[in-house]
Amino acid sequence: MTCLFCSIAAGETAADIVLADDDFVAFLDIRPVFKGHVLLVPREHVVTLPELPAGLRDGFLAHAQGLATAMIGGLGAQGSFVAMNNTVSQSVPHLHCHVVPRTKGDGLKGFFWPRTRYADAAESADYARRISDELGFVPGAGLS
């Protein structure tokens, strides 16, 4: 059985990539809570946070921090919601950190995550570009 997130990280499955390096990939969630909702994953197949190798912890947190900042500068959000599930409610069994743009009065309450959709591929690509630009990431630059 192939892991969807491993397939995205390997470039075998299309996704709107906002960040990629040798260890991590971040891409738009296809069922975002709010437009610009990003998933950060390690390239290495790791199922839960407790399994993340020590050598990847700092990079994972640094990228989550950068994505949270990019929500403000790139999308004009007032802040962000950052979350991870471990096993329970983990729709894909591969560690992923949700970074969701937030604004006051956006309607997100508690742990109920309503979902939305992008109008089309052009709209999702625009959100990905805005976040990538804020991070200084150029898709395809030097990575396979």
* DSSP-based three-state secondary structure for 37: coil
pTM: 0.82
Q: Rounded mean pLDDT of the chain?
A: 90
Residues 6+ apart with CB under 8 A from 144: 11
How confident is the model over 36-52, as a mean pLDDT?
96
Question: Residues 87-114: pLDDT tens digits?
Answer: 887 789 999 999 999 999 888 876 666 6
Which pLDDT band, with edges at 50, 70 and 90, does 144 fall under?
very low
> What is the percentage of the chain residues whose pLDDT exceeds 90?
69
Domains of the chain and any CATH numbers: 4-135 (3.30.428.10)
